Amino acid sequence: MKRKMFVVLCLIGMCSFAFAGGGNERSAEGEPQYPKGDISVLIAAAAGGGNDLLVRALLPSLERTLKVSVVPVNQPGGRGAIAFNEVASARPDGQKLYFNSKSVLLMKFNGIEEANMDRLVPVAQVAEDVTIFFVRSDSPIKNIKDLINHIKTSKERVKSANSGMGALWHLSQILFCQTIGSDNILSIAYPAGSSAMLTALVSGEVEFVTCGPEAKSFIDAGKVRPLCVVYPGRYPSFPDIPTLKEETGLDYDYPVWRGFFTTEGTDPKVLKILSDALKTAVESEEFKKFTAIGMIASFKDSKTFGEIVDKEQKSLEVLMPGVMAQIKSADSSGGKK
Amino acid sequence: MGSFDLYLVGWQLIDPQVFIMIFFGTLLGIIVGALPGLTATMAVSIIVPLTYKMSPVVSILMLLGVYCGGNYGGSISACLINIPGTPSAIMTGLDGHPLARRGKAGLAIGMATLASVIGGLFSVFILAAFSPIIANIALKFKSLEIFGVALFGLSVIAYVSPGSTLKGIMVGFFGLLVATIGFDPTLGVSRFGFGSTNLLGGIDFVSAMIGLFGMSEMLANIEKTKKERDFGFLQEKVTKTWDALKYIRKLKAVLLRSSIVGVIIGAIPGAGGTIAAITAYGLQKKVSKYSHLMGQGSLEGIAAPESSNNACTGGAMTPLLSLGIPGDAVTAVLIGAFIIHGIVPGPMMYTTNPDMVSAIFIGMLLANIMILLIGMPGAKYISKLLKIPSQILNSLIIALCIIGTFAIKNSLFDTCVMLVFGGIGYLLSKAKVPKAPIVLALVLGPIMEENLRRWASLAEGKYWTEFVNAVLTNPVTLSMVLATLAVLLAPVIMKKKHFSEDDIQFTSTTGDTDPNEIIFAEKKK
């Protein structure tokens, strides 16, 4: 009997604590106070990857500014869709952030219907990288003009590597083809990412690769030759590589941004606080040390970043359905032209 | 880069913290290996999640310590209670246990330790010497060759896995089927998602593995009666382990032969420590002058399987580092650990992360030295752990399985995957179906599919011309095709499995005299 009494007492105690807690939260909701507790950042990538390291480099400064713990949570499941869903369906209080690259815009077109950008609101852009064109270091192709010539005159389609059909680098190649006015390339998917793409380039399976600054170790090892970057000016991490525009006069706009998002409907005041905190973080010493590796810090506040996202979203709506249809028809015909 | 840089550049990564973690990894591996029912595969898979927050070097080297230690640890329980702590110690008990019964438990464990260390060190040197050469060749591998290696690995496992060949092939196909869940590798179209966001990325194979090897073993342990759980612990003091040292010189031929067998079998994708131990024991029985004494406590019978199963570690790491293809189930788990830390194992590692490769060589070297330093004086303490009540141990491990799978992606779905695979694994063990083929199919399946599909895209519809062309011009493709055909057709032609456990009598007797007195007395003359 005594034991039962004790259990009942414990339960009553627990309930009262729970209700007390609930009551407190409700009373706090009236004031626009932010942050209300620890913030979690859902990273749509595994621990140790580029996106993960980037977020972790920003955390110390964020914690100093916001005076709460900022907890990174890696959720690579469902290609980032699970993390997307969790943030999109959270309470719009800015306590849950989502971090991803430009790929977040492509998810919707790759068959993940719930990844609708209307459900998220951009907070800030923190970094940017670029498309770099590579060939094997012993290739007869010495510069980007040679490559364009080769693509235009080759009898067989020129083989290139991407990180997935309809994904980031494939799209960059499609835009490149539109720019030079020839689609004589056969782009092959290497879903494991840049390292697999560059390995395929070194083995001679493909003739050129487009990917970002993560190729630095391959450049340093003398295995690949960078031809050009697609960027408005010389790219600060690789000042020796010429731009597409200065080599050929042609250009296309393809910034590969990385940034933070949160739940749609979040108070603009909260967005401002977060955006300012991120600005400080991007300028912090810890982040400068990190970006020395290759990627460049590039801060854009909530408003500017939002405009960029909207603009790209609109152009992708036009471009992507055609691209996806083309990919599917190419595969069902067994790769035949 | 100078030719020796690859072996030296890693030293700068070995700081005291790394050193300590290799020590703890090896110790943990030995303990887990020594506990019956807990395998080296399981030890590595439940420790992977604990290393997420460590730096890549620390975590990979710690896991290698667990791997090497786990492979050795099984011999302690095999000698003392005649139950192999890990499947790879299956042959060690045949001679180790009778010798321990004779009052020479220390000698038996000492011999097992020394043989493990010698086999392990031998394999590290082979790994360090050959993997850069293989990697250099592998740099020229294209999709078709990588597909060939993966297919070869998959065909081997069906052939050499313990138990029925047919059952091995059946579960292998089950694994391949599970591997097709998730995004299509070339199109990015979701398959078998059933509308679930969680299934979009496919089944996480580390979770599946923890379920198959960790959870299912625990389920099987729970149903054991108290009598089965108390394995009749041998009340034998483990002393004078260093006595084994004086037999080493006389056994050097055995050790060398078995180590070579171990390295070769380890390097074949799909075959692992268990097969290496069985083969080395069988070979020893064929060539030994004292084969009639094996099974009665012969030191030859301890040295052969133990050096072979530990030599397997370096062998299995060779294809992992040089081709990105795992050599056995444990290295398959290690692939997951590498990727978590942003390192893609494969030939490019030698160019992009030479310090990491170098640190792996050094780490494995250190882990084997740790086995010597922990095993020789520590065996008597580790043997006491065999008395831990299994209730405590089982609950601890179930908790680790659940936390570990959640921690991979912070997703409860992965924990559910683990539980489902735990149930599948349990049923499979009841049906005496080997579980390793599933894991290898889960790892090799996507590699095969991705590369085959990519090759098909590259061939642009001219499959036969491209294939014949590749076979005729590339010796690697040709040899891969021939090797796969040989492995697949051999059981049909020979109608008998080579490495079947049924061929070896699992009996050991205690004769009147210590067989080692006969063997070594005659050898002295």
What ipTM does the predicted assembly reach?
0.76
Asked whether the predicted pLDDT for residue A17 surpasses 50, the reply is no
Backbone CA torsion sign across A74, A78, A81, A82: negative
Question: In chain B, positions 126-165, which contact chain A (CB-CB < 8 Å)?
Answer: 139-143
Find chain B residues with C-beta within 8 A of A74's C-beta: 409-410
Paired sense of beta strands A158-162 and A208-211, if any: parallel
CA nearest to B269, candidates B339, B308, B309, B316: B316
Any B CB within 8 A of A110 CB: yes
What is the chain B residue with the closest CA to A163? B186
d(CA A274, CA A269): 9
What is the pLDDT, as a whole number, of residue B259? Answer: 93
Provide the token pair at B370.
């740790």
pLDDT in tens, A271-294: 999 999 999 999 988 888 776 666
Domain A39-128+256-310 superfamily per CATH: Bordetella uptake gene, domain 1 (3.40.190.150)
In this complex, is the C-beta atom of B195 within 8 Å of any C-beta atom belonging to chain A? no
DSSP state of B190: E
Q: Which residue is listed with tokens 């268990």?
A: B274
Q: Check residue B221 and report its DSSP letter.
A: H
Diameter of chain B measured on Cα atoms: 76
Test A195 with B352 for CB contact under 8 angstroms: yes
Outline where B161-232 has alpha helix (H): 165-179, 205-209, 216-222, 226-229
Q: Does A337 touch chain B (CB under 8 A)?
A: yes
For residue A5, the model assigns a pLDDT of 59
3-state secondary structure of A226: strand
Question: In terms of pLDDT, which residue wins out, B348 or A336?
Answer: B348
pLDDT at A98: 94
Q: What is the pLDDT of residue B23?
A: 93
Spell out, as residue ranges, where chain B has pLDDT lower than 50: 1-2, 497-506, 524-525
Poorest-pLDDT segment among A74-83, A161-170, A183-192, B210-219? A74-83
- Banded model confidence at residue A148, pLDDT cuts 50, 70, 90: very high
| Mean pLDDT of all residues in A112-121 | 86
Coil, helix or strand at residue B132:
helix
- The amino acid occupying position B113 is T
SS (H, E, C) A106-137: HHHHHCCCCCCHHHEEEEEEEEEECEEEEEEC
Q: Starting from the edge strand earliest in sequence, which strands make up the sheet with A208-211, in order? A: A185-189, A158-162, A208-211, A131-136, A224-230
Q: How near does any CA of chain A get to the CA of B85, in Å?
A: 33
A204 chain-B contacts, CB cut-off 8 A? 140, 142
Nearest Cβ partner for B200 among A48, A78, A191: A78
Point out the residue among A85, A223, A331 whose CB comes nearest to the CB of B197: A85
Picking from B140, B405, B409, B448 by the largest number of A CB atoms within 10 A of its own CB, the best residue to mutate is B409
Mean pLDDT over all residues of chain A? 83
HSE of B499, CA atoms in CB hemisphere, 13 A: 22
CA B107 to CA B239: how far, in whole Å?
Answer: 8
Please calculate the CA angle B124-B128-B131 and round it to the nearest 5 degrees.
115
Residue listed under structure tokens 């992507």: A320
Residue B201 and residue A188: Cβ atoms within 8 Å?
A: no
Q: How far apart are CA A330 and CA B2, in angstroms?
A: 47
pLDDT for A275 equals 93
Instruction: With beta carbons less than 8 A apart as the criterion, state whether A165 and A98 touch.
Output: no
B459 in contact with A, Cβ within 8 Å: yes
Q: Which two tokens stand for residue A18?
A: 């729970």
For residues B74 and B92, the answer to whether their CB atoms sit within 8 Å is yes
Out of 3.60.110.10, 3.40.190.10, 2.40.37.20, 3.40.50.300, the CATH code matching A131-253 is 3.40.190.10
The reported pLDDT for the residue numbered A8 is 59
Q: What average pLDDT does this structure show over A54-63?
A: 86
Distance CA B82, CA B67 (A): 22
d(CA B15, CA B22): 11
Judged by CB atoms closer than 8 Å, whether chains meet at A337 and B141 is answered as no
User: Vertex B18, ends B17 and B22: CA angle to 5°?
Assistant: 120
Write b or e for each residue in A135-146: b if 16 or more Cβ atoms lie within 10 A of its Cβ, otherwise e.
Answer: bbeebebebbee
- State the pLDDT confidence band at A10, using cuts at 50, 70 and 90: low
Task: Return the HEC string of A25-62.
Answer: HHHHHCCCCCCCCCEEEEECCCCCCHHHHHHHHHHHHH
Where b means 16+ CB within 10 Å and e means fewer, B145-169 reads bbbbbbbbbbbbbbbbbbeeeebbb
Nearest Cα to Cα of residue A95 among A42, A160, A174: A42
User: Per the CB < 8 Å rule, is B139 touching A199?
Assistant: yes
Structure-token match 């980037």, residue found: A54
Helix, strand and coil content of chain B, in percent to the nearest 5, comes to 75, 0, 25
- Dist CA A228 CA A131 (whole Å): 8
Query: DSSP letter at B270?
Result: T
Average pLDDT over residues A315-321: 88
**What Cα–Cα distance (Å) separates residue B42 from each residue in A78, B158, B413, B428, B442?**
26, 21, 20, 17, 16
Instruction: With beta carbons under 8 A apart, name residues in chain A contacting B351.
Output: 217-218, 221, 223
Task: Indicate the pTM of the whole model.
Answer: 0.75
Q: Where are the domains of chain A?
A: 39-128+256-310, 131-253
Beta bridge partners of A258: A101, A127
Q: Is A192 in Cβ contact with B413 (below 8 Å)? A: no
Q: Which of A205, A211, A326, A329 to mutate to test the interface with B (most CBs of B within 10 A)?
A: A205
A221 touches chain B (CB under 8 A): yes
Cα–Cα distance for residue pair B355/B55, rounded to 1 Å:
14
Closest residue by Cα to residue B191 from B176, B204, B179: B179
Residues 168-197 of A with CB under 8 A from B: 186, 188-193, 195-196
Within this chain, domains A39-128+256-310 and A131-253 share the same CATH topology: yes
